[in-house]
Amino acid sequence: MSTQDSNISVVAPTIEDVKRAIEEVTSLMDERFAKLDADGKYIQDIRLGSVESASVWKSYGFSDFPPYVITGVINHNSDKYIDSVYRRPLQKLVNGVWYNIGFI
């Protein structure tokens, strides 16, 4: 169906065109939602968080509990005792949000 008005032509879509467009949009939405659903169930990435440090010589240092991993041990004055220890939390990315990893 076509209408002419001083050099402007308007073509109305057919029912088949509308159905096809709806099917394409629905298919695209299904793919996107499936990806979002999958992203929300699986770990997408891992990283170490911000560093923390503690003195060990004449101090308690750190307790051993998750999500931390030891990333450095320093003996500043080269004697037989360590002076400082460094740790970082182990983190996972799930659905765009970073979480500290608890017990593995």
Q: Is this prediction's pTM over 0.75?
A: no
pLDDT < 50: residue spans in the chain: 1
CB atoms within 10 A of CB 87: 20
Q: What tens digit of pLDDT does each residue of 26-53 get?
A: 888 888 777 766 666 788 899 999 999 8
Q: What is the pLDDT of residue 103?
A: 61
Alpha carbon dihedral 63, 65, 68, 83, in 10-degree steps, equals 10
Q: What is the pLDDT of residue 4?
A: 54
